[in-house]
Amino acid sequence: MKAREATTPARAFDRAYINGQFVTPHGTQIVDLVNPADNKVIGKVTMADEIDTQKAIGAAKEAFNTFSQSSKEYRMELLQRLHDAVAKRMDQLVEATVVEYGAPQDRARGSNNLAANIFLHFKKVLEDFDLVKTVGTSKVVMEPVGVVGIFTPWNSSAGSIAIKVAPAIAAGCTVVIKPSEMSAMQTEVLLDAFHEAGLPPGVINVVTGLGEVVGTELTQSPDIQKIAFTGSTQIGKLVAKNSLDTMKRLTLELGGKSPNIILDDADLSTAIPLAINACYLNNGQACIAASRLIVPEDRLDEVKRLAKAAVEKIKVGDPRDKDVTLGPLASTKQYNRVQEYITSGIEEGAELVIGGEGHPQGLEGGNFIKPTVFANVTREMRIAKEEIFGPVLSILTYKTEAEAIEIANDTEFGLIAYISSADPERATRVARKLAAGRVLINTLSHDPFAPFGGFKQSGMGREGGVFGLQEYLEPKAIIG
């Protein structure tokens, strides 16, 4: 069986979706799609180019003329169809996420179920939303912003696409999606779902290509009125700069270095395992990862003991094994990046509680990382300041509640924060003082109707719920 698998030819991913049709890209550049569990090539992905992108933009622009005038009821029907088509392919989508990204199976299924349900969430939001309001003595009409260029990352492909496509459809916008070339298998499943949903031609267009090619065309085109981007802060800034000349509306969901404050009244036996999960979710490759654990100085020894015990229970390995809870990083580039941070932590004098450099024993063939915890981390260390995007936790200590808040806010990011406490009122009071778009208290749960987005350099704008819908609408005041 293994011999046959080794000789299986790499699958070709050579379709774009433009104007309601599957087309062969005009672009000719091909990149490898690699299984991160063994670094074997499993696909060859043909990159779309400027001509493909221009065709997609043209189709979206033409479709907008009609789709922008469609009724709320019709758009609600389309959102239902999109949900049904994606949900129907859930097993395929999960398999693709496991194989090409390395997500553990439970994580892959959970994240993709959430992606499918996003369309239902926005169906409900649209149903309850007044597109025409009376303000003062005037009529205010909420109109679709226009053609939307969508950029999505490799660490949450379907979810990042759905959280942008759903409000765009709800608002009456048309879209051109640039998914990651590292997510070609997941994109293929979504393409089939979008096609089956039967939206009017040109409403959804998908071109997989490199950022410097497809991304540049989307950000500079005068026919794109809005950019919705999820990715690194560095690339997000470049997207924003390129969009400035045409005054595009922007929703940017960027990086994070999220703090997790353990207040001195917290039950550590519950809070510390929760903290490990909050840092290592999605193989640690999450903008919301709680990578800075801020604990009372006089309880550090207990925290270290509990953290080490929690990490020792984690099973690292091939995500096709249903018992695995931590899979490989998405690429060798990402593996090397995280290794550099682990080395940096050691060289700067942080205490290595568990984990460290190199592969876990027996997993040398893939991009597997030893789940790592550092203690006695100071604010000046790179591991405390920079987004690592891997399963590396930094423990910092505080003497007073005020100092804990100060440490939490001592970052250029502000996406999400976490608090553990036995006193909900106290935790809420602390939450109000944190510079973050979301604060989770004693939980890792998600509210799809609550806004998601960041303060400071974690981005601008919001996704999810009514706040997410409003990002795709322009208010027009009619006075007379």
Active site residues per annotation:
253, 287
CA dist 178 and 24 (Å) reads 16
Give all strands (DSSP E) within 421-460, no chain letters.
438-441, 459-460
- CB-neighbour burial class of residue 205 (10 A; exposed 0-12, middle 13-18, buried 19+): buried
- Three-state DSSP at 438 gives strand
CA dist 203 and 151 (Å) reads 16
- CB-neighbour burial class of residue 73 (10 A; exposed 0-12, middle 13-18, buried 19+): exposed
Identify the sign of the CA torsion 196, 200, 202, 205: negative
Contact 41/32 with Cβ under 8 angstroms? Answer: yes
- Report, in angstroms and rounded to the nearest whole number, the Rg of the chain calculated over CA atoms: 23
CA angle 231, 236, 241 (to 5 degrees): 160
Which residue from 269, 249, 271 is spatially nearest to 260, judged by alpha carbons? 271
Q: Over the range 303-340, which residues count as b (16 or more CB within 10 Å of their CB) and which as e? A: bbebbbebbeeeebbbbeeeebbbbbbbbeebbeebbe
Identify the helix (H) or strand (E) that includes residue 87. helix 72-88
Structure tokens, 171? 């608002």
CA dist 313 and 318 (Å) reads 16
| Strand-pair category, 351-354 with 132-135 | unpaired
Contact 34/196 with Cβ under 8 angstroms? Answer: no
Q: Which residues pair with 132 in a beta bridge?
A: 141
CA dist 416 and 256 (Å) reads 7
Identify the helix (H) or strand (E) that includes residue 404. helix 401-409
| Strand-pair category, 438-441 with 392-398 | unpaired
